[in-house]
Chain A
């Protein structure tokens, strides 16, 4: 029995070694292959998109991205800057899109008068976009193209 256990552990150990070797050559890492002791050249900080143009959603349920800067927009227990434009009552003045009706529902689909607490922290789902090149290739295929058989 003991001998069998030793066999198993050595096999697992060898497999683990082999897999690290496979990762270390040619795999994309954020460190660009720089040794752990030295600091690689930091990539340039990119700009936040601020063109007020909607991006197409990749699937219907995707939370829309934010097409403007949100620097210093406070979302805290005290205040929610986003809602001072995107709340139902504020859209008349701001002409901003209203947060969707799902944000006014609790988890049992009961409609509430104000935004549901579980939807309060906007940037949990909605994020700004930057003009950075993707770090890894994106192979996402739109469902439209899958339907068309492309």
Chain B
């Protein structure tokens, strides 16, 4: 008697034995050129889809983002400012480097799970989870030395002579010495803060 497992194993064996044989009817030219064209289409499609998930429009299409964090972002300087440069969601929340980006995107599959099961589908649920969620972002930025901040704000191109005295002094004492990284002081610059009880540097 064949168990379902044996059936499945038989199927896998048949696929492998046909994949392992040279092609009987298709020419080598068709296979190489066809394979190349299919590869281009697959890769192009994959990248286009990936880039689409990296837009503000995509992030805000879920009401969890659109009604909470996006609304909070709007009055802050990263959304509305004198120079007209705007940081969108992925500029800060998705690494720009390809390998880091893919690993972040894989982590984000957990967020799809959260969306499906409504983990934060009300303002109250979101507020209750806010400390944990913010903590993930602080940990990520702490671990990569605030890489997403530094994609725009680099220490090298920062002219502290045009900063206010207190900013210049703080950057000289903590940033240039490497003692602290951006996120250590600049928490809550783009969204409201969670309950900061017990967070280092907050009373």
Contact = CB atoms under 8 A, between A and B. Distances in A.
Interface of A: 50-52, 68-69, 71-72, 74, 76-81, 83-84, 87, 89-90, 93-96, 114-115
B201 A84 contact: yes
Interface of B: 75-77, 164-166, 169-170, 174, 185, 188-189, 192-196, 201-203
B169 A95 contact: yes
A73 to B, nearest CB: 9
A82 to B, nearest CB: 9
Contact of B165 (A52, A78, A81, A114): A52
B192 A76 contact: yes
Q: Which 10 A-B pairs have the closest CB atoms?
A: A79-B193, A79-B196, A87-B203, A83-B203, A52-B165, A78-B195, A78-B193, A72-B76, A50-B164, A84-B202
A74 B192 contact: yes
A21 B203 CA distance: 55
B170 A94 contact: yes
A114 B203 CA distance: 9
Nearest to B164: A50
A81 B166 CA distance: 15
B161 to A, nearest CB: 14
Contacts of B75: 72
A76 B193 contact: yes
Contacts of A79: 188, 193-196, 202
A80 B203 CA distance: 7
Contacts of A71: 77
Contacts of B192: 74, 76, 78
Scoring B169, B196, B203 by chain A CB atoms within 10 A of each residue's CB, the highest score goes to B203
A68 B164 contact: yes
A94 B170 CA distance: 7
Nearest to A115: B203
A38 B169 CA distance: 49
23 contacts: A50-B164, A51-B165, A52-B164, A52-B165, A52-B166, A68-B164, A68-B166, A71-B77, A72-B75, A72-B77, A74-B193, A76-B192, A78-B196, A79-B194, A79-B195, A80-B202, A80-B203, A83-B202, A83-B203, A84-B201, A87-B203, A95-B169, A96-B166
Scoring A76, A79, A114 by chain B CB atoms within 10 A of each residue's CB, the highest score goes to A79
